[in-house]
A and B are shown apart, each in its own frame.
Chain A
Amino acid sequence: MDNYIKIEFKSKGVNESLARIVVAAFVSRLDPTLDELADIKTAVSEAVTNAIIHAYDDEEGVVYITCELNGKEVKVIVEDKGKGIEDVKQAMQPLFTTKPEEERSGMGFTVMETFMDTLEVISQKGKGTTVIMTKKIK
């Protein structure tokens, strides 16, 4: 691995924008296009939103982000120690949401999948969720 950063922050919505900016700033050294950078920011935003809103259900927790650079590849790992996802396959279906009353669109994983090259979701009920995403900068 050429380089990496690790950050952790309280699961507060106000930290979402910070998470996007930190990852984008770190990835900038690979000289990505504006579109590539926007893709990564959006995917990070979705993963962090999931951790704050779903994993911790607006209760206090910690969100961990690791960003690795390997050649031209970016790997972003977003991790929480929240309630976990019972059925990952179902959660990844487009438009599936457990919170329709809060107007959640159920598109988080679809956006991550579309904007990044690979997406892997590992979750254990009661233990937490890890989202691993990669994208090659062209």
Chain B
Amino acid sequence: MKRHFNTLVVTLKGELDAHYAGFVREKIDNEILNSKVKNLIFDFSRLEFMDSSGIGVIIGRYKSIKAVGGKVIIVKPNRQIKRIIDISGIQKLIPVNDNLDEAIKKLL
């Protein structure tokens, strides 16, 4: 996790399923609470696999970020993850971007 001013960039690696969702959720929530960031970027460029448990993680964080008037962006999901995102319909609420630097700039 990295902070760019008031934006938290969470880079996830490996696989996000129900087993790891709780751990990821807790880590991000602690960071949001402690560093008082406003915006959140999910950097999925190094995430190889995600099932619908990941959607729960994204929506949960989206709600808390939205409550403080912030924005959430998803960056570089692979094809499999993009399909899960498309089916869920969350791309109507959360933009998907192909470039991390661009996403960070958008939130500055």
Which A residues are closer than 8 A to B by beta carbons?
Answer: 13-14, 16-17, 20, 35, 38-39, 41-42, 45-46, 49, 52-53, 102-105, 107-108, 110-111, 114-115
- Can you report 28 A-B residue pairs in the complex whose CB atoms are below 8 A from each other? A16-B19, A17-B15, A17-B17, A17-B19, A35-B79, A35-B80, A41-B49, A42-B80, A46-B51, A46-B52, A52-B18, A53-B18, A102-B56, A103-B21, A103-B56, A103-B59, A103-B60, A104-B53, A104-B56, A105-B59, A105-B88, A107-B87, A108-B52, A110-B52, A110-B87, A111-B51, A111-B52, A115-B83
Interface on chain A toward B: helix, strand, loop, or mixed SS?
Answer: helix
Which B residues are closer than 8 A to A by beta carbons?
Answer: 15, 17-19, 21, 25, 49, 51-53, 55-57, 59-60, 79-80, 83-84, 87-88
Asked, given contacts A38-B79, A46-B51, whether A105 binds B19 with beta carbons under 8 Å apart, the answer is no
Q: Which of B18, B59, B79, B84 meets A111, CB within 8 Å?
A: B84
Q: In the complex, what distance in Å separates the CA atom of A111 from the CA atom of B15?
A: 17
Q: In the complex, what distance in Å separates the CA atom of A38 from the CA atom of B87?
A: 15
Q: Given the complex, which residues of A lie within 8 Å of B49, measured CB to CB? A: 20, 38, 41-42, 45
Q: Given the complex, which residues of B lie within 8 Å of A17, measured CB to CB? A: 15, 17, 19
Q: Given the complex, which residues of A lie within 8 Å of B84, measured CB to CB? A: 42, 107, 111
Q: In the complex, what distance in Å separates the CA atom of A133 from the CA atom of B58?
A: 27
